[in-house]
Amino acid sequence: MNWLKVYQDDHKAVLLLLAKLEGNIMDLKAGYPSPNPYLEFEEFAHVIKDVIIPHFKNEEVTVYKDVSEAGPEEQSFIKNMLMEHKALYSVFDQFFNAVEERDNQKIIEISGTLIQVLRHHIIKEEDELPKLM
């Protein structure tokens, strides 16, 4: 299960970055953003494009495929996780657009959703996936 360690390491790194994004959003809401808040948001967009989306794609064709073949309970769990991936792809696109437009209100709104949904997804995957294997 060496791949599981890699996935868990990715998850830990993303959770740390979500905490940083959450802090940047709180600063933006309070009117005390970093000197160039858009640089921070653009960097997070790159993490999504270069790390998170490839991680999702890899899960979908390897781990999720293998687990879903184990039985109906596993298949149901994976179906739910794939629906969450699909929803997150949409949230990611909204985040990219908000950052590109430099629209503070949109960035705040979509980041709240992104943080909540992605954090929940990671925790659920960490809690449930190993039990199904």
The Cα–Cα gap between 130 and 40 comes to 33
User: What's the pLDDT score for residue 35?
Assistant: 75
| Phi and psi, residue 72, nearest 5° | -65, -40
Structure tokens at 65: 């495929």
pLDDT tens digits along 46-99:
999 999 999 999 999 988 988 888 889 999 999 999 999 999 999 999 999 999
Domain residue extents for the chain = 12-132
Confidence of residue 32 (pLDDT cuts 50, 70, 90): confident
pTM: 0.91
Helix (H, G, I), strand (E, B) or coil at 130: helix
Query: In terms of C-beta distances under 8 Å and separation of at least 24 residues, what long-range contacts does 98-102 make, across chains too?
Result: 99/38, 99/41, 99/42, 99/45, 102/38
User: What's the pLDDT score for residue 12?
Assistant: 92
The Cα–Cα gap between 63 and 29 comes to 38
One DSSP character per residue, 36-69 reads SHHHHHHHHHHHIIIIIHHHHHHHHHTHHHHHHT
Confidence of residue 4 (pLDDT cuts 50, 70, 90): low
